[in-house]
Structure 1
């Protein structure tokens, strides 16, 4: 069941890109670039990796960031960007199962918030913070059907 949680600011490091819906998997495969950049700069992630959907236009392209929360704000290079996930209220739900089910989980979270009369912190297709947080480590949970993923979408303050 979805709920509303309050989050503090969280600095992060990520890879930013523009992709079509059918290109998300190939973009996700580039997570290693973020891991390598963090290692080269001796920066340790402090939580699970995430996808941050900055622009969601299902008929054109998505602007995505894949990255990790870190302790302090840093400076990126090239496609590696840094930023801060904003503090505030987030509508959240946990999806248990294959990442293919996230489309339905997202639809259900959006519908739940609409039924509650909640407003997203978004302007058209541009979102302030729309996150998929991948809690399962593939090295420890190799079966995608056993994965746990949190959806966290920022609400308007």
Structure 2
């Protein structure tokens, strides 16, 4: 897949996933990252293969605390167990941009996407301050590329319309 160096609109179907939700400030982001192996272990114990990249789904930010899910796409809807829950990426049109480089610099990509949306008159799908679909998908497998500076991360925001 070629990187998307400029924002683009894409229509996407609904995609089931499993995830663990958490609220954390950026200063405690290690707690969010620590959920990654737990989600993959949950899938492995059930024999459910991932069908896409690990992602973070952002719901809202209040007082510097982010409400986020750490998730993995699956082929068919699953039953959650309380801690791990079933969900789905909603169908719709998304503004998409691929970030190349260290994840700590992803805010530059967020800003580029926000600036583009403002120029193009594109509105994010928000209801009462909660994003209907704001995803950060990690396209690079850390086992294959340990250099964070070479990672690729897709940013996709669902738009109104």
TM-score of the aligned structures, taking structure 2 as reference length: 0.93
Runs of 5+ unmatched residues, structure 1: none
Partner residue of 1:144 out of 148, 151, 161 = 148
Listed one character per residue, the Cα deviations across residues 17-38 of structure 1 (whole Å, up to 9, x for unaligned) are: 1111222233112211101111
- Secondary structure (helix, strand or coil) at the match of 2:47 reads coil
CA distance in 2, matches of 1:30, 1:12: 15
Q: Give the corresponding residue for 1:37.
A: 42
CA distance in 1, matches of 2:150, 2:31: 21
- The reply on whether 1:89 has 2:93 as its aligned counterpart is yes
Q: What RMSD, in angstroms, separates the aligned Cα atoms of the two structures?
A: 1.1
- Secondary structure (helix, strand or coil) at the match of 2:78 reads coil
- The reply on whether 1:22 has 2:27 as its aligned counterpart is yes
CA distance in 1, matches of 2:83, 2:25: 17
The alignment covers a number of residue pairs equal to 156
Q: Give the corresponding residue for 1:76.
A: 80
- Please list every run of at least 4 consecutive aligned residues from structure 1 whose deviation after the TM superposition is greater than 6 angstroms: none
Partner residue of 2:109 out of 105, 122, 141 = 105
CA distance in 1, matches of 2:118, 2:134: 16
CA distance in 2, matches of 1:120, 1:55: 13
By how many angstroms is 1:54 displaced?
A: 1.1
Contact 1:17 1:79 in 2 (8 A): no
By how many angstroms is 1:119 displaced?
A: 1.1
CA distance in 2, matches of 1:107, 1:93: 11
Question: 14-23 or 132-141, which moves further after superposition?
Answer: 14-23
CA distance in 2, matches of 1:91, 1:25: 28
Q: Give the corresponding residue for 2:54.
A: 49
